[in-house]
């Protein structure tokens, strides 16, 4: 893709075509100044949206059957195209979101790294889940038929862009990357808070589709109001699954729409999490100022606008806990609010802080300084106790921003009881030493039922993208605790198993044919058969 200067058009991209929407317009906003950004972005109507979903349906048959090398090369080409426009992309995203360019450069690398990681997944092919049970005509009391199984793509997927990650959870982010890697065309609903960022990435993906010789319906990007176009997208019969990152209210609304369809479809929504951190007293015998600074750094990074922000901190009652919270006050005194993503998000953060401040039994531990812009609330830490936390649901509500609540606990039993009363979360963190292992052990089974990722001696912000990562959790953290939105396992969300019984080999799809033309690892009669081992055996048989 060319690195020439980018001119934004303000249009949706439907199956490779720029489309002027007829449903009104919107502008991006620079949250540091509250000024509108050019160009205006035209919003599609439902008829135009249907063009995108119809094109995705047309593209599905060919895209879902791509040879692994062609498929992987497409994902790599998309990554390269995005990197080619990196400087322009980061500059526009910083203007539209208020996020610093250093943070955005890291996120951009994560985004292209995800695409390349899924390319490696496609080449290896384990996600296809191939299982073979050759016929046993002599088996008693009944013969066994020839049975073969593989996982196939669900169909076109609707993906909604997130406000807080304009790259990694947006146009070419994890949901899009994993759906495309599964063989599912994507209709992407752009986030209206960073429309220019979405357009630049959308063109890079569209160009990758064209350069790879794929059906143009493999990817479309549309702009429109979430309450109407977003709902219409989920209702469209061509759409077979949904990926979403955002608020609990919006996520549950999409879930209700998907469930009410004549053909219900899965919604993989990441929604609300306050990510409890459990601090054991032995940890506080060390350098409490260093520990407090690390907590404040995790809390205030990206103005607290991270889904893994440590919004809940369990601290022992007594002198050690008092000393730590005093250290938190010292660390927070030097912290200044940073510009938040949008004026609306900043207003919601302030409202959440005010609501928590008004709760009985809740006190302010410390508060930082207001930032230099209108949309930069001061970071704040509150404190309460386990009985108050256990009886007041407001204390479990997420504040999307740099605000956290410290809960003082008196015993391990009280700590476990508080954990049982928590809603589902993305993460839980334990800060402990070897002396705390016996005390912490009973807490782990409780947390396994509540969260998707358990950390020891690490803050929850920062999610590694790899094979073993789980970024999910029980409701309301996500809509389906069996899945992850980060890491290679995310591809499983967009696949389903199909079995083939006594189908002639000439009619079978390549992954389950006898000679294994795609060189996949497969299970034969329940035992893993590596592709390399099979090839060596075949070579020996022919020699």
Active site residues: 270, 307
Cα separation, 192 vs 28, in Å, equals 7
Q: Decide: 275 and 312 in contact? Cβ < 8 Å.
A: yes
Residue with tokens 């490696």: 120
Sort residue 24 into left (φ over 0), alpha (ψ -120 to 50) or beta: left
361 CB-near residues (< 8 Å, 6+ apart): 384, 385, 388, 392
SS3 string, 117-149, reads HHHHHHHHCHHHCCEEECCECCCCCCCECCEEE
Q: Decide: 190 and 223 in contact? Cβ < 8 Å.
A: yes
Concatenated DSSP letters of 467-526: SS-----TTTTBS-TT--SSSGGGGGGGEEEEEEES--GGGS-GGGSTT-TT---EEETT
Q: Please, is 320 exposed, middle or buried when counting C-beta atoms within 10 Å of its C-beta (0-12, 13-18, 19+)?
A: middle
Sort residue 3 into left (φ over 0), alpha (ψ -120 to 50) or beta: alpha
Q: Decide: 45 and 496 in contact? Cβ < 8 Å.
A: no
283 CB-near residues (< 8 Å, 6+ apart): 291, 431, 432, 433, 436
Q: Decide: 387 and 250 in contact? Cβ < 8 Å.
A: no
Cα-based distances in Å from 378 to 37, 269, 335, 340 = 26, 29, 8, 11
Candidates 322, 297, 316, 309; CA nearest to 403 is: 309
Candidates 257, 191, 202, 250; CA nearest to 43 is: 191
Q: Is 309 helix (H, G, I), strand (E, B) or coil?
A: coil
Q: Across the strands, what pairs with 528?
A: 523
Q: Across the strands, what pairs with 316?
A: 409
């Amino acid at each position: 893709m060319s690195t020439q200067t980018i001119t934004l058009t303000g249009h949706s991209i439907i199956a490779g075509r720029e489309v002027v929407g007829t449903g009104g317009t919107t502008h991006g906003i620079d949250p540091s100044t509250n000024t509108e950004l050019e160009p205006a972005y035209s919003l599609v109507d439902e008829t135009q949206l249907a063009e995108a979903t119809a094109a995705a349906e047309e593209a599905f048959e060919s895209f879902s059957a791509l040879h692994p090398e062609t498929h992987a090369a497409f994902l790599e080409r998309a990554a390269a195209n995005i990197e080619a426009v990196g400087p322009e992309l980061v500059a526009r995203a910083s203007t539209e979101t208020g996020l610093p360019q250093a943070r955005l450069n890291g996120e951009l690398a994560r985004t292209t790294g995800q695409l390349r990681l899924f390319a490696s997944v496609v080449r290896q092919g384990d996600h296809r889940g191939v299982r073979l049970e050759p016929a046993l005509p002599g088996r008693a009391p009944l013969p066994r038929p020839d049975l073969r199984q593989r996982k196939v793509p669900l169909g076109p997927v609707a993906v909604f862009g997130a406000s807080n990650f304009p790259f990694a959870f947006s146009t070419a982010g994890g949901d899009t990357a994993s759906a495309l890697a599964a063989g599912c065309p994507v209709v992407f609903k752009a986030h209206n808070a960073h429309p220019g960022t979405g357009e630049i990435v959308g063109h890079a993906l569209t160009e990758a589709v064209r350069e790879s010789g794929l059906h143009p319906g493999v990817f479309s990007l549309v702009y429109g109001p979430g309450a109407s176009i977003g709902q219409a997208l989920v209702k469209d019969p061509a759409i077979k699954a949904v990926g979403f990152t955002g608020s609990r209210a919006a996520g549950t609304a999409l879930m209700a729409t998907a469930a009410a369809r004549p053909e219900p479809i899965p919604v993989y929504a990441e929604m609300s999490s306050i990510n409890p951190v459990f601090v054991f007293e032995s940890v506080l015998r060390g350098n409490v100022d260093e520990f407090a600074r690390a907590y404040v750094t995790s809390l205030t990074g990206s103005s607290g606008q991270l889904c893994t922000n440590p919004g809940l901190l369990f601290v022992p009652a007594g002198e050690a806990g008092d000393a730590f919270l005093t250290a938190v006050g010292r660390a927070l005194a030097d912290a200044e609010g940073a510009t938040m993503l949008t004026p609306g998000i900043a207003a919601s953060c302030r409202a959440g802080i005010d609501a928590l401040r008004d709760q009985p039994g809740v006190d302010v531990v410390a508060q930082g300084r207001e930032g230099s812009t209108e949309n930069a609330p001061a970071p704040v830490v509150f404190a309460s106790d386990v009985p108050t936390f256990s009886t007041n649901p407001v204390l479990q509500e997420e504040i999307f921003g740099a605000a956290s609540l410290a809960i003082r606990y008196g015993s391990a039993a009280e700590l476990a009881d508080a954990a049982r009363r928590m809603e589902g979360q993305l993460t839980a963190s334990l800060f402990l030493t070897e002396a705390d292992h016996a005390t912490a052990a009973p807490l782990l089974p409780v947390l396994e039922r509540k969260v998707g990722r358990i950390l020891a001696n690490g803050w929850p912000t920062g999610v590694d993208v790899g094979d073993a990562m789980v970024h999910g959790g029980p409701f309301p953290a996500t809509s389906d605790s069996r899945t992850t939105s980060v890491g290679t396992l995310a591809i499983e969300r967009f696949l389903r198993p199909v079995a083939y019984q006594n189908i002639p080999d000439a009619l079978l799809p390549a992954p389950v044919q006898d000679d294994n033309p795609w060189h996949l690892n497969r299970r034969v009669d329940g035992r893993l058969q590596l592709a390399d081992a099979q090839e060596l055996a075949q070579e020996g048989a022919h020699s």
